[in-house]
Structure 1
């Protein structure tokens, strides 16, 4: 299969796109690499698009990129036209200093601008982790833009608690040292870090999946942008108060599904169930022995739970 371009790749972008093409080839996916020009500070946002049908927006997590969704493309693109942007500062998107922009408002603003740029008025949305936060916040701030919503893996925004390891990044001096120390420079290093945080069983994840992330560490501004995001999100006490969406999402009435693994590194299902239970039109799927990115586990359980809901076949109406 192929990765096509609506642009002429730069010398800087070429190694990343070559690695991304290998991921598409492994998963037998045809996709297009494209750019949308958005108002500053978002600048140029790189995205992947594929498929036919109504639109589906995919929003990735904190340290990942649009590449994280490629393993699901085969299941999604028969029914949807998918749009998977790299968050500004990740992948090939323009680097952003989140200490200047913040994220609660900007994380929704650039997504709304992106939808405008690609000509989508209303869409189904699926998000993972920080992308799950953006999905929920987009539905809160712009309910007219979201048709239905799936949070796959625990979304940020439903608890201010964070794992101890991530709290350490906010220790003066120590935090930045840890951040630099854990920079992954090889595929085995990336795999080990990924398995520690994102999946229970990495047997189904090929080496090719990790190469764009390793190559991407050298893209201009990416590491600094990620560090600025970490500084913006939390403190040693946990997530900052503006990232707590619990009260706001309870008022959402659009169809919503949470797909949540019992072994999620960040938050257990007990964090999400009360929120889903208080919403007018939400359901909750618990997956035994699945981690934070459950569609990358060896089973198809997470993908099936997400796709059947997004297609309107099951779940709240």
Structure 2
């Protein structure tokens, strides 16, 4: 009787050991596969047009990298910085609107479009990105310019203006990452080691297009041709790495704490229905940046300059006019002027 009692638990112990062994093996394989995807495997690159609808695309070499850019028009210089995952194609409607009175430089910063960096360990943090913009402007012979920046690279524009006030005439920010506020879920995932690397490696064109479509309210403006034009350079290995690396190394507190030191006249543009970066931040920036003006575009999303180019171009042209009418800010340095209802879509 005692022997039978002693032998009864043995099958259960063997089953438990086998189950544990299977689980450990599965977890080991899963972790190994994830690490291989994150740090070894490279997905194929897509192919697309580098010229897009832009006039006179060019390249210039610097110590940082080989910059892809366009130069259009004549007059006081403006430098356009695309948002994260985009490239200068995003300004296809903006460039013609500004080039009549300005020399417009649209540039792919490191991690954007068809610019390539020389250093595999390029940090993509604010110091590195600000330094890259400095090198580009020096290389093309622009000692001072107005800066127009969208989304993620809005932080770069503000950092540049804080560090090099003599290089900046005016700043126009479109839905910028500037406040030290919680990021959206996708950006938070990019900050997690291994997860960020694996996520960007596993991203397909369909997944990218699905995510980017949320940046538009007027979805008809985000055509399949436009989607593929954006995806082609983003599928490059260096740009996939930059996607998580710039977000992970982005310290918005460095920008946020010095907003009161911005001396250049500043325009803040925001889509009323932005679901990527919350529109409430527009008013905060307007109050924090001295002498700034806020314009909220009704019925537009995060890619506000593509979603409603007519409204945005009108605001940009008026703000960047070489001989504008005086601007009289209201209150604590911010004048918030939503567009009249007639301009809403």
TM-score normalized with structure 1 length: 0.80
CA distance 1:165–1:96, change in 2 (3 Å):
farther
Q: Is 2:200 aligned against 1:179?
A: yes
Which runs of no fewer than 5 residues in structure 1 stay unpaired? 1-12, 234-239
User: What is the count of residue pairs matched by the alignment?
Assistant: 283
Between structure 1 and structure 2, the one with the greater Rg is 2
CA distance 1:292–1:64, change in 2 (3 Å):
same
Q: Is 2:137 aligned against 1:137?
A: no
Q: Is 2:181 aligned against 1:164?
A: no
- What is the CA-CA distance between 1:299 and the residue it aligns to? 5.7
Contact 1:98–1:225, Cα closer than 8 Å, also in 2: no
For residues 107-154 of structure 1, the C-alpha deviation after alignment (integer angstroms, 9 at most, x for no partner) is 1111111111111111111000122111111111000001011002x1
Q: 302, 305, 320: which one pairs with 1:292? A: 302
CA distance 1:74–1:248, change in 2 (3 Å):
same
1:49 maps to: 71
CA distance 1:285–1:86, change in 2 (3 Å):
same
- What is the CA-CA distance between 1:275 and the residue it aligns to? 2.7
Which runs of no fewer than 5 residues in structure 2 stay unpaired? 1-44, 329-345
SS at structure 2 position matched to 1:203 = helix
SS at structure 1 position matched to 2:261 = coil
CA distance 1:230–1:135, change in 2 (3 Å):
closer
Distance 1:65 1:150 in 2: 17
CA distance 1:63–1:94, change in 2 (3 Å):
same
Q: Is 2:218 aligned against 1:195?
A: no
1:10 maps to: none
Distance 1:219 1:165 in 2: 20
Distance 1:305 1:147 in 2: 17
CA distance 1:139–1:223, change in 2 (3 Å):
same
2:133 maps to: 111
Distance 1:130 1:217 in 2: 15
